[in-house]
Amino acid sequence: MLKFALKRILVSIPTLLAIITLVFFLVHLTPGNPFDGERALSPEALKSLMEQYRLNLPLWQQYLLYLNDLIHGNFGISMKYLGQSINNLLFPDNMGGFWVTLRLSIYTMIIAVPLGILCGAYAGLHKNSWFDKLVVASNIFFTAVPTMVTGPLSVLIFAVTLHWLPAGGWGDGDFAHLFLPVVVLILAYSPTIAFVTRGSIVDVLNSNYIRTARAKGLPTKKILFKHAIRPTLLPVISLLGPMFAGILVGAVVTEQIFTLPGLGVLTTNAATNRDYNMIMAITILGSILTIIFNIIVDLLYMILDPKIKQ
């Protein structure tokens, strides 16, 4: 188990390094420098700026220094807010920035996964019931229609028309302000989880060993929780890896809709101000999170599926 985990972590290091290298050289080999668009800078000011951002050094030195910074958990300096450390902007003490996005993603995961599994299992056990049809239909609808449509519509209905909830903003991260964004995100992802669980449980219940268990006269409860639960969960778990990256990005989009002060705002500002360092930092942070989550999913998969252990 520990060996597998270590191996899995070691394998993902070259992937991360490749991503960092790709992003770094993409940014630095593109012609033009980020201060081109600024109002005319005096040559001395430009020179000192270039020095501050190490742009005067040869590229390979910049690259190695950047890697060194990253290893020490330092994402460099923002190019928009001159001299401001990106770490302070990404991880502010007032719990904004990345923490907002992370909170949204985690709440979504915590609620959407069990909810999806429960609904999917119930639908699969009661095939062709009205609930089953609801699960199938909501999967079609919410897979097709993204948060950027359902989000504003939910604001229009529940905030502007019915006045039940605030239309946006963070408040203090209180329940009322979080409710709509999280519900919108849950609706975007749990129908897929439910649909996969439903298909999986139908397959498992039709398999030979479940028939054998039935033939032996085991009680239904025991069949479900002892024999059916593990193989049912496997396809769901493998769905979660790619889904997390989706939720992270989905959270960022949702922030834009509900004007929450998370990574979304930082991304927009960085894009409009051509703050390369910031976008690099956000891209790399996102990649790190995706990779970490994939490792967790792989470990979970291994725990549930003894066949993978050599």
Partner 1 sequence: MILKAKNFNLDAPQAKGFWRSVFSRLSRNKLAMTSGLIIIVLALLCAIVPIFSSIAYDKTNWGEIMLAPNSQHWFGTDSLGRDLMVRCFIGGRITFAIAFAAAFVVLLIGIFYGAIAGYIGGKVDTIMMRIVDILYGIPFLFFCILLITLFGNSMALSFVAIAAISWLDMSRIVRGQTLSIKHKEYVEAALISGVSNFKIITRHVIPNLLGVVIVYAALTVPNMIVLSAVLSFFGLGVTEPMTSWGLLIADGAQNMQAWWLLLFPAGLMIITLLSFAFLANGLRDALDPR
Per CB under 8 A, does 109 bind partner 1? no
Which of these segments, 63-71, 80-88, 207-215, 289-297, binds partner 1 (CB under 8 A)? 289-297
Per CB under 8 A, does 252 bind partner 1? yes
Q: Is the CB of 151 or the CB of 261 nearer to partner 1?
A: 151
Q: Mask of contacts with partner 1, 10-29, x by CB under 8 A?
A: -----xx-xx--xx--xx--
Per CB under 8 A, does 310 bind partner 1? no
Per CB under 8 A, does 267 bind partner 1? yes
Per CB under 8 A, does 114 bind partner 1? no
Per CB under 8 A, does 253 bind partner 1? yes
DSSP assignment of the chain, as one string? -HHHHHHHHHHHHHHHHHHHHHHHHHHHHSSS-TTTTSSPPPHHHHHHHHHHTTTTS-HHHHHHHHHHHHHTT---B-TTTTT-BHHHHHS-TTS-BHHHHHHHHHHHHHHHHHHHHHHHHHHHHTTTSHHHHHHHHHHHHHHHS-HHHHHHHHIIIIIIIS--S-SS--TTT-HHHHHHHHHHHHHHHHHHHHHHHHHHHHHHHTSHHHHHHHHTT--HHHIIIIIIHHHHHHHHHHHHHHHHHHHHHHHHHHHHHTT-SBHHHHHHHHHHTT-HHHHHHHHHHHHHHHHHHHHHHHHHHHHH-TTT--
Ranges within 129-168 binding partner 1 (CB under 8 A): 140-141, 143-146, 148-149, 151-153, 155-156, 159-161, 167
Per CB under 8 A, does 274 bind partner 1? yes
Which of these segments, 82-90, 105-113, 126-134, 264-272, binds partner 1 (CB under 8 A)? 264-272
Per CB under 8 A, does 102 bind partner 1? no
CB 278 within 8 A of CB 86: yes
Q: Is the CB of 22 or the CB of 110 nearer to partner 1?
A: 22
Residue 187: how many other CB atoms lie within 10 Å: 19
Greatest Cα pair distance, the chain, in angstroms, is 87
CB 175 to partner 1: min, Å: 22
CB 201 to partner 1: min, Å: 20
Q: Is the CB of 146 or the CB of 169 nearer to partner 1?
A: 146
Residue found by looking up tokens 């889904």 in the block: 243
Q: Is the CB of 265 or the CB of 304 nearer to partner 1?
A: 265
CB 264 to partner 1: min, Å: 8
Note the residue count of the chain: 310
Residue 189: how many other CB atoms lie within 10 Å: 26
How many residues in the shown chain lie near partner 1 by CB under 8 A?
51
* Amino acid, res. 13: I
Which of these segments, 82-90, 181-189, 204-212, 281-289, binds partner 1 (CB under 8 A)? 281-289
Per CB under 8 A, does 95 bind partner 1? no
Structure tokens, 114: 């069990």
Q: Which residues bind partner 1 (CB under 8 A)?
A: 15-16, 18-19, 22-23, 26-27, 30, 140-141, 143-146, 148-149, 151-153, 155-156, 159-161, 167, 242, 245, 248-249, 252-253, 256-257, 264, 267-268, 270-272, 274, 276, 279-280, 282-283, 286-287, 290-291, 294
